[in-house]
Amino acid sequence: MGNTAETGLSATELRDLSDIAGTMIPESPAFGVPGADDPAILGDIARSLGRDLPLVREALAAIAAKSGSAFTGMDRDRREALINDYYAGGGAAVAALGRVVLGAYYRDDRVLLALGMEARPPFPKGHTLEQGDWSLLDAVRNQPPFWRDDRAATTGKR
């Protein structure tokens, strides 16, 4: 995980972020994926805050306030309910928190491989896109033109 100097978060905030991220996206042995509190993913989240740092700090503080500074001690159902309620309420802070957590989580090699995707950027390999069924266009090809032709009135520069 990124240290505090690297991320701009205090040690307490990093610990809170870990608890919150792990609640937002928990580990799932059934789907073969780590949680967002996995050290590598959490480090990526923390290093990716950038211009969202003030908003994420605001979100962490808001969650702490809503939980009476006892988020970690709450049971899982209550933690999930708190996060979902807070997120549903909207606002720039919680949106930023969600964006940085999801952005880092869904580029982790293990997560992408578990989804059946390759762990790589789009370029330079690209992807294959099948042509699809062009015979479906036959139903449209034979329609008469139906755009409005204004030339009955005038043409060219008026």
Partner 1 sequence: MGGNERVDVLIIGSGASGAAMAWSLADTRMRILCLEQGDWIKSTDFPSNGRDWEARRYTDFDISPNRRGRDTDYPVNDDNSLMKIANFNGVGGGTVIYTAHWPRMHPSDFRVKSLDGVADDWPIDYWALERFYDENDRMMGVSGLTGDPGVPPRNPPMPPIPLGKTGTHYAKAMNRLGWHWWPSDTTVATTAYEGRAACINLGHCTPGCAQGAKASTDITYWPLAIRAGVELRTRCRVREITTNEHGMAAGAIYYDADGREHFQPAEVVIVACNGIGTPRLLLNSASARFPNGLANSSGLVGKNLMLHPWPIMYGYVEETLDGGRGPITTMWSKQFYETDPSRGFVRGYTLQFGRGTGPATEAISSAAAGRLPWGRDHHRIYRELLDHRVLIGVACEDLPEEHNRVTLDPGLKDRNGIPAPRIDYTISENTRRMMEHGITRAEEILTEAGATRLHASRTALNSPGHLLGTARMGDDPERSVVNGWGRCHDVKNLFIVDGSIWVTSGGVNPTSTIQALALYIADQMKQRLATLFD
Applying CB under 8 A, the residues found at the interface with partner 1 are: 23-26, 28, 30-31, 33, 48, 50-51, 76, 79-80, 83-84, 87-88, 95, 98-100, 102-107, 111-112, 115, 117, 120-134, 136-137, 139-141, 143-151, 153-158
Shortest Å distance, C-beta 77 to partner 1: 9
Q: Which is nearer to partner 1, 5 or 146 (CB)?
A: 146
Shortest Å distance, C-beta 6 to partner 1: 16
Q: Which is nearer to partner 1, 68 or 90 (CB)?
A: 90
- Cβ(126)–Cβ(59) under 8 Å? no
Q: Which is nearer to partner 1, 65 or 113 (CB)?
A: 113
Shortest Å distance, C-beta 61 to partner 1: 18
Q: Is the peptide bond before 124 cis (omega within 30 degrees of 0)?
A: yes
Q: Which is nearer to partner 1, 71 or 105 (CB)?
A: 105
Q: Tokens at residue 52, please?
A: 């969202």
Shortest Å distance, C-beta 73 to partner 1: 17
Sequential DSSP letters for 91-153: -HHHHHHHHHHHHHHTT-HHHHHHTT--SS-STTT--------GGGGHHHHTSPP-S--GGGT
SS3 content of the chain, % helix, strand, coil (to 5): 55, 0, 45
Q: How far is CA 105 from the centre of its chain?
A: 8
